[in-house]
Amino acid sequence: MHARLVKFGLIEIDGQHYDYDVSITAGKITKRKKKPSKVFRSRYNHTPLSADEPIPWGGEKLIVGTGVYGALPIMEQVYEEANRRGIEIVTAPTGEACRLLETLDDGDIYAILHITC
């Protein structure tokens, strides 16, 4: 899978542009459904990644692109759930996370990519 952060608020994956956060499950790209996490926004001054939203659990690791500047908060409950499932969470600013995706087979890609902050 070829992915790159084009600019703040825009990502390109396999030639397709997305102007919203994406979730990738075994190579299948969908819009991140962050509504369940919005209730925590005031606590973090940003909508965090919480275990209340659909997270693409699977494989051995979950790659989380934490935004252009790496500012996406990840709630402790996400790490706890990953640990319970035996899944490693790999976090990196989104540009770097995109480069990590290129090292994996599409079917092994489980990721959430935040495209702003």
CB atoms under 10 Å from CB of 10, counted, come to: 14
Element (H, E) at 73: none
Going by their DSSP bridges, the two strands 28-31 and 22-25 should be labelled as antiparallel
Which tokens belong to 72?
């996406």
The pLDDT of residue 38 is 96
The string of pLDDT tens digits covering residues 41-62 is: 999 999 999 999 999 999 999 9
Helix (H) / strand (E) containing 10:
strand 10-13
pTM of the model: 0.96
Rg (CA), the chain: 13
pLDDT (tens digit, 9 = 90+) per residue, 103-113? 999 999 999 99
pLDDT band at 31 (very low <50, low <70, confident <90, very high): very high
Domain housing 105: 3-114
- The CATH number assigned to the domain holding 109 equals 3.40.1230.10
Which is nearest to 89 in space by CA: 114, 112, 67, 108? Answer: 112
Alpha-carbon distance 54 to 42, whole Å?
A: 20
How many domains does the chain divide into? 1
Q: Residues of the chain with pLDDT > 90: what percent?
A: 98
Q: How far apart are CA 23 and CA 60, in angstroms?
A: 16
Show the 3-state SS of 23-40: EEECCEEEECCCHHHHHH
Q: Give the mean model confidence (pLDDT) for residues 81-102.
A: 97
